[in-house]
Amino acid sequence: MKALVLTAALTCTAGTASALCEDAWYLRNMAFDRAGYCFGSALGKSVFRSC
């Protein structure tokens, strides 16, 4: 799973908006959320809990 997220993150840096990029964004931020991270962006706050 880590390799998939890393690969997706590397391919998404070109500004693509593919489903793979969205999945990588969600998986990365889900890990941050579970670790107790407080999101500052409106999107992060709307998808995950905020502090």
- Residues 39, 29 contacting (CB under 8 angstroms): yes
Per-residue DSSP letter, 41: S
User: What confidence score (pLDDT) does residue 22 get?
Assistant: 86
What is the pLDDT, as a whole number, of residue 26?
A: 93
Q: What is the pLDDT of residues 10-43, one digit of tens each?
A: 556 655 567 878 888 899 999 999 999 999 999 9
Q: How far is CA 3 from CA 7, 8, 10, 39, 47, in A?
A: 6, 8, 11, 24, 24
Helix 2-11 with 19-34: angle, nearest 10 deg: 130
pLDDT at 50 exceeding the cut of 80: no
**Of 43 and 1, the one with more pLDDT:** 43
